[in-house]
Structures are given as structure tokens and as C-alpha cells.
Amino acid sequence: MIGQDIIARFSALLGPKGVITDADDIAPWVNDWRERFHGSAAAILSPASTQEVSAVVKLAAELGVPLVPQGGNTSMVGGATPPADGSALILSLRRMNAIRSLSTDDNLAVCEAGVILSVLHDAAEAAGRRFPLSLGAKGSATIGGLVSTNAGGTQVLRHGTMRALVEGIEAVLPDGSIFDGLDALKKDNRGYDIKQLLIGAEGTLGVVTAAALRLVPAIAARAVGWVGVDTPADALRLLRLIEERLGDAVEGFEVIADDGLGHVLSHIPGTRSPIETRTPWHVLIEVDHADTSEPGPAARLEDALAAAFEAEIAIDAAIAANEAQADAFWRIRESLSESEKAQGPALQYDISVPVAKMPAFMVDAAAAAEATFPGHTASSFGHLGDGNVHFHVRAPKGTEDGPAWIAAEGPAINRFVHDAVVAAGGSISAEHGIGQMKRAELGRLASPARIGALRAIKAAFDPYGLFNPGKLVPLSDEA
């Protein structure tokens, strides 16, 4: 555990508001929100400016104190949880929560790392714009964390991940120097793309202190549809047909297995199936227009769905008649995880494969998992158009002790699913990152060239391993 003498040095830099040492105040921040990873820290350092972050980093480098950058602590992979031995301090960015500027001329918002996603949503909306990335944790997740994990969500098909939305970045590197790349340059060929390197680096190469983010026009009109199809391959054909007709207006395209819909209908009060036919697979589609010109999104979606019936892709379909119905369609998608929890314990994989291979993967990998682990059921849902689904393997019916089941079967199921992903040319982490949770699997499965590159970059930026230790990069002695 880091001693009081060291903490006093940081207090001298940051003042009383900048250092939290009360155990009760620290407690919510040393474990991840799903209570899977447990850490310990003698203090939370909470600088109020980029200059203070730089000073903290320089002092930490001088003292050899590891730092764990943290935003809203909403990581899915233990990416913001400090080591259990108390050897690191938490570097919280939450006090740096100013939106420094928001320009509708440039369609840019410059946000400090601690700005909460929903706060940015509101600010953009007030200005007649929107920031087109959202996720369940939007009330807690911060811009710094979203940048550092290259967050995704349900709007990636149209707008991309954070990687596509960050136009500029400010960060403090492990030597304390400030990388000032906030000017949003659409073209910049001054060598290696440091901005893209810091996006998704999970705080292991330094700490993001601010980002210039792209805004897009507000939605003037939307249509939300639900389509029943026979197979994931038909769902992909539907996507291609709709993209051909509606182009970039397709804002959401989510695929759901019928068992997932069944769980929602069973466990979430007030839900009902948007279509009458129970088909093996379902697709939720949202089409958005930034203006109110005719034909509007509903008419265009109807037209496209008529073509999908004609091509014998759609079995049944419904278009929400009003906003309340549109919200009800989306509520089914958003309740999938919660309803599954009511169904029993499950292992959840956030994986991607090339889009064209995804339909076969969804069917074949689920069948193979069920055959290999008798009594288990497997299915998937999510962002087919991104080649990214959440692939879940559920414990045999009647399993009550979830943790015991995970301890017994988890490692073998993990290996099985990840091997299938790698065989399909995919990624074992599509959205959530590596953090602590997937580091060993990354070490097992990544090519020597990839591992070598990750280690070389980490050593180059952070030779003493002081930034977010134990995350992302598989170490050579663990391989």
C-alpha cells in the first residue's frame, strides 16, 4: 500500500479537493460496477486541469507510483480497476468536466475527459445537433473513458465508433508532456497517427484529458421497423437491400434471435412482440432523416420492406405507428440482457467477425457450442451490420449457482468461443476492450507480430509500466 508520505506529495500539488483518502469515498471506485474485479487504492487523485494532470504524472514518474486513469468506472473488462495490492493510485478525471466549446459552425464539441456522455447529449441537443454515440452507461460513462476504450453502441453502422468521431485529442503522456492535438484537422500527415494510437489504448499509454468530438445534425424524422426473418443470412440480405435503397439513412440495424425475444416477453412486464408471427430471427431497423422532406423515413422504409417481401426475405414486418411504439420496439432490444439475467446465468462474449461471415458464425458457433457443452444453450444478438454480436452461452436449465458454474465451465467455454472467433478471422473484443478480463486470452491467441507490436508500443511510451498496470498488453512472463 502506498504510504502517507507519498500521498502528501500529491496533496501538496493538488490541494485538499484534489486528493481523496477517505475509505468510504474511495470504496465505490476500487471495484468494477459488475463486482467482478476487486482492487485497492490508498487515494484517488483528482486534478482539475490538464496542467495539474501533467504535474501529477511527472511526480508519479519521479516517485515510481503507478496510476490507474478512471472516468465513470463503467468498464466491462475491469479496465479501470486498480491492482488488488494497493500498489497504484487512481487518477480520476471526473473533476475535469467542462465542455470547453461547442460550435455549430464546425459541428465540434471540445469536451474535457470527465464530461459525462449524457451531459454532452443534452448540450448538443440544446444546440440543435447530436453526438451520435450512446450506450447503456451514458449517465456515468465519461468522454475520456469512451475515447480510451474506443466505445461503440447501436449507431456505429452509420456513424462509426469513437475512432471515427474523435477529431482531435489532448493527452498527458507518461513523461508528463502534454500532447496538444485538439485542433480538428481533417487531413494531417505529420507522421504516425498519435491520436488513433491513444484512442482505445485504455489509459496504458498516457491519459486523455480532452477530445474534440464530431457532432451531426439532429434527427428531424425517424421510422422504426421490426422484421421477422428466417435466418441471419436473410437478415444480412435485408441489410444490403435496405442500404441500397436508403443509403446512409440507416441508423440502426439490430438482429435478435427468437429465444432472446422470448426472454423479454416472459420477463419484462408490458412488452409485446411487434409482429404476430414468431419467426426464428428478428431485425430492428431505424431510419433517420435530418430534414422533413418527402418521402420521409417511414414511407421509404415501407417501400424497402415491400421489396424485401417481394424478394422473400421478410416473413412478417411492422413499422411503428408513432414515437411511443418506436420506443417500445427499442425497449425490447434494450431489455435483452436484463431478461436473460432473469432466465439464469450466462457467459457473454463481445466478439466480431467479418460481416459476410457473421450469418454462418451465428448459426454454426451456437450449434457447436451446444454440442460441445451439453445442456447449455447459445445464441446471439446485436450489430450484424458491424460484424459484431453479443454471443451468449447460457448455463443448463435449473443452474442456480452462477459463480460455481462459471468457475467450473467458464475457462473451457471461453476458449471454445474465442477459438471459433479466431478461426473465422475475428476479434475477441469488438467493443469492450481487453482490460484485465481478456488479457490472458489475447496473449494466447494474438499473432507474434501483433503481440510484439503491442509490447513494443507500450514499452516505448511507458518504459516503467506506470500507466494502468496489468491492463491490455499481455506481458511476456504471462504468455
Cβ atoms of residues 311 and 241 within 8 Å = yes
Inter-residue contact 453 to 205 (CB < 8 Å) = no
* 38 lies in the site for its own copies, by CB under 8 A: no
Which lies closer to its own copies via its Cβ, residue 4 or residue 196?
A: 196
Distance CA 348, CA 327 (A): 25
**Closer to its own copies by Cβ: residue 244 or 364:** 244
Cβ of residue 427: shortest distance to its own copies, in angstroms?
4
Is residue 331 part of the contact set for its own copies (CB under 8 A)?
no
Beta bridge partners of 388: 352, 383
Binding mask 280-299 for its own copies (x = CB under 8 A): ----------x---------
- Do residues 80 and 71 make contact, with C-beta atoms less than 8 angstroms apart? yes
* Min CB(264)–its own copies separation in Å: 24
Choosing from 339, 379, 388, 436, the residue that interacts with its own copies (CB under 8 A) is 388
Smallest separation (angstroms) from its own copies to the CB of 374: 31
Q: Which residues, 448 to 467, sit near its own copies by CB under 8 A?
A: 448-450, 452-454, 456-457, 459-461
Q: Binding to its own copies by residue 426, rule CB under 8 A?
A: yes
199 binds its own copies (CB under 8 A): yes
The distance of closest approach from Cβ of residue 421 to its own copies in the complex, given in angstroms and rounded to an integer, is: 10
Distance CA 322, CA 477 (A): 58
Rule CB under 8 A: say whether 190 interacts with its own copies. Answer: yes
Report how far apart, in Å, the C-alpha atoms of 106 and of each of 210, 352, 428 are: 17, 33, 36
Amino acid residing at 195 = K
**Residues near 417 by Cβ (< 8 Å), separated by ≥ 6?**
347, 349, 351, 365, 369, 391, 393
**Least distance from its own copies to the Cβ atom of residue 30, Å:** 24
Determine the 3-state secondary structure of 109 from DSSP: strand
CB closer to its own copies out of 86 and 443: 443
Contacts of its own copies in 432-451 (CB under 8 A): 432-434, 442, 446-450
Min dist CB 208 to its own copies, Å, is: 13
Could you tell me which stretch among 193-201, 224-232, 263-271, 274-282 binds its own copies (CB under 8 A)? 193-201
Residues 346 to 365: which contact its own copies by CB under 8 A?
Answer: 352-356
- From the list 130, 6, 153, 148, the residue with the least C-alpha distance to 77 is 148
Assess 427 for contact with its own copies (CB under 8 A): yes
Helix axes 4-14, 50-63, angle to 10 degrees: 160
Our finding on whether 322 is near its own copies (CB under 8 A) is no
**What part of residues 119-178 is at the interface with its own copies (CB under 8 A)?**
149-150, 152, 156, 161, 163-164, 173, 175, 177-178
CB 79 within 8 A of CB 30: no
Q: Do the beta carbons of residue 155 and residue 130 sit within 8 Å? A: no
Q: Which is nearer to its own copies, 141 or 201 (CB)?
A: 201
Q: Which CB, 374 or 448, lies closer to its own copies?
A: 448
If the CB atoms of residues 363 and 442 are measured against its own copies, the closer one turns out to be 442
Output the smallest distance, CB 458 to its own copies, in A: 8
205 touches its own copies by CB under 8 A:
yes
Q: Which is nearer to its own copies, 404 or 460 (CB)?
A: 460
Name the helix (H) or strand (E) containing 200. none
Is 426 within 8 Å of 446 (Cβ atoms)?
Answer: no
- Beta strand 44-45 with 89-92 is parallel
Among 6, 36, 159, 179, binds its own copies (CB under 8 A): 179
Of 386 and 409, nearer to its own copies (C-beta) is: 386
Smallest distance from its own copies to CB 75, Å: 12
Bridge pairing between strands 388-394 and 377-383: antiparallel
**Is residue 105 a contact residue for its own copies (CB under 8 A)?**
yes
The label of the residue with cell 459552425 reads: 105
Nearest to 192 by CA among 443, 431, 453, 449: 453
Distance (Å, whole) CA 372 – CA 419:
13
Q: Which is nearer to its own copies, 311 or 371 (CB)?
A: 311
d(CA 418, CA 413): 8
* Of 122 and 248, CB closest to its own copies: 248
Does residue 295 have a cis peptide bond before it, meaning omega lies within 30 degrees of 0? yes
351's grid cell: 466478439
Asked if residue 431 binds its own copies (CB under 8 A), the reply is yes
